Amino acid sequence: MQVLTPEEYLPRIAAHEARAEKWAGPRVARRARGEYHPVWDFLFDYYPQRPSHLKRWHPGAGVCLTDAESLPHTRWRDYVTDGDGTVRLDVQRFLDHRRGDVEEAAAILRSVDKREAHFDCFGMHEWAMVYRTDSPRHSLPLRLGAEGTNAVVETHTVKCSHFDAFRFFTPAARPLNLTVLTREGQPANDQAGCVHVSMDLYKWAMKLGPLVPGELLLDCFELAADARRLDMEASPYDCRGLGFDVVAVETPEGKAQYVARQRELTRRAQPLRRRLVAILDDVHEG
């Protein structure tokens, strides 16, 4: 057990709350006004984490907090308070009701870390989600219009490897993908070059809950936000009215820009994934 004193953990709690507020505060304010942001609110809807929970700092598995009787952790599920006022996560209690999530995360994270990354999809998954449909997922204009969007899909090879993108393809687009993807096959198909796989590190950190230190959770969230930005800037939607740029993946220049940013996301994701795997290894050994 690592032991943290108030002088050590209180600044970390404050820093975490301030860092999370950058994202949580605007989300809460938008909901109060009845507004929706099609880029950023995705991070709270697709990954269903309450803003208040994003702001919760967890020390992580194997850490105890001294003189912690006044902390909210004493009231949170799976934490225990010892007689001397020390608070810690009861890992076994957490695993008793979340083992399925832990095993799912372990299977995906470990398989991705061993697989070669690919960078040749050029973000066509978002285009396949609006291919030949009158009902796009977002109430945003299509940058090239419906016919122009359809033409881009039809002149490219669709190589999506991530089931949670593939499942939103339109019926007309599904047969165009090189691979028929399934949930059961996800561990064999997810690969580190995929923008959504980098984004999903936040999902796995979220599912691992209090096992994950708060700083690592926010590292994963901020990576997901950057991946989401690329996802939408390279999409068929015109997000310039929301202050975003365009990555025109239908052009050679846009493809090169997409791959460069995709590679940078992959570079940032690798150490985060390995930190999550290390937590799972420690929990398994414990």
> In the prediction, which pLDDT does 286 show?
54
Please choose, from the candidates 210, 192, 189, the residue with its C-alpha nearest in 3D space to the C-alpha of residue 201.
Answer: 192
Distances 193 to 72, 112, 124, 198, 264 between C-alpha atoms, Å? 39, 10, 14, 8, 9
As a whole number, mean pLDDT of residues 134-139 equals: 83
As a whole number, mean pLDDT of residues 73-89 equals: 94
Does residue 58 have a pLDDT over 70?
yes
Residues 6+ apart with CB under 8 A from 169: 125, 128, 129, 131, 160, 177
pTM as predicted:
0.94
pLDDT in tens, 172-205: 999 999 999 999 999 999 999 999 999 999 999 9
As a whole number, mean pLDDT of residues 241-251 equals: 97
Please choose, from the candidates 39, 256, 249, 239, the residue with its C-alpha nearest in 3D space to the C-alpha of residue 123.
Answer: 249
Beta bridge partners of 89: 79
As a whole number, mean pLDDT of residues 29-41 equals: 95
168/158 Cα distance (integer angstroms): 14
